[in-house]
Amino acid sequence: MRRLSSAIVVLGITALVTLPAAAQTTTTAPQPPPPMTNLQVYPKDTPRPEIVATMQGFVQALGVQSAGGCGYCHAGTAPTFDFAADAKPTKTVARKMILMSREITAKLPDVTGKPAADVTRIRCATCHRGVAIPKLLPDILTETVNKGGSAAAVQQYRDLRKQYYGAQAYDFSENALAFLGQQLTAANKPDDALALLQLNAEYYPNHPATYGMMAQAYMRKNDKENAIKNLEKAVQLDPNNQQAKRQLEQLKK
């Protein structure tokens, strides 16, 4: 009985307290956002603008503007997100990622022998560089070669390049595919290597190393004629390439 009556009193008080505030909001400014209730990593009294700025940094670092923005991690839909809810697995992962980033930063002084003030602070973007799953381009393409063949990898490169060229997400420089071609030849996949090296030559027709790598792939296939052709191209583009010159002399013997 006692408990019930005190509950009634509490209810009465809250009603009294909230009424004027509610009346005010209907006539003037929009309702202030509710206080934050589920901060587990950041200090609970962090000012809201600071949290929101950090969150905008997350959206940027993971490049999820067009993948839901805040909704990539938060339940609900704009503009009525339930920021406090932990319904989305991405939010739970993100919380652990904050802690992981701190742990790595904390280890750096020991690992590098530098004072704590001098080491790099690990941020989301240090790894993510504008993508939610930060995988390096050669690794993405190698997986595709292994699963779907080199034609699928060629198409994937074109698509990623269209979407991300000029962003920090992936290395589309002339050396990236040339290096991958070299690795595929070393892994005894000269045909896959050639598909990607030909693609590189399409974007970078004057990159000598690409033709050098093609020559290596043809040699792996015992295709002497095409190996010579590509070595000649490499030497033509870079007359100082002694290695290509030597290989050319050997092949022509």
Residues at the interface with ligand HEC (CB under 6 A): 36-42, 51-52, 55-56, 58-59, 62, 64, 69-70, 72-74, 83-84, 90-91, 93-95, 97-98, 101, 104, 122, 124, 126-128, 132-134
**Shortest distance, position 53 Cβ to ligand HEC, whole Å:** 9
With CA atoms as reference, report the closest residue to 141 among 102, 96, 197, 87. 197
Q: For ligand HEC, which is the closer residue by CB, 72 or 218?
A: 72
- Cβ closest to ligand HEC, residue 95 vs residue 229: 95
Burial class (CB in 10 A: 0-12, 13-18, 19+), 217: buried
H or E element: which one contains 76?
strand 75-77
Enter the tokens of residue 164: 């991300």
CB 180 within 8 A of CB 141: yes
For residue 75, give the 3-state DSSP assignment.
strand
d(CA 170, CA 140): 10
Q: How far is the CB of 95 from ligand HEC (least distance, A)?
A: 4
Q: What are phi and psi of 168, to 5 degrees?
A: -85, 0
Residues 6 or more apart from 241 whose CB is under 8 A from it? 208, 212, 234, 235
* Angle value at C-alpha 182, between 155 and 210, nearest 5 degrees: 75
For ligand HEC, the closer CB: 126 or 198:
126
Beta carbon of residue 46, minimum distance to ligand HEC (angstroms, whole number): 8
CB closer to ligand HEC, 95 vs 161 = 95
CB of 58 vs ligand HEC, minimal distance in Å: 4
Question: Between 20 and 34, whose beta carbon lies closer to ligand HEC?
Answer: 34
Min dist. Cβ of residue 81 to ligand HEC (A) = 7
Backbone angles phi, psi at 120, to 5 degrees: -65, 135
Q: What is the distance between the alpha carbons of residues 46 and 214, in angstroms, rounded to a whole number?
A: 57
Token pair of 28 as six digits: 């003037």
Tokens of 139: 């690794």
Minimum distance from CB of 250 to ligand HEC (Å)?
44
CB of 113 to ligand HEC, least distance (A): 20
Question: Closer CB to ligand HEC, residue 14 or residue 120?
Answer: 120
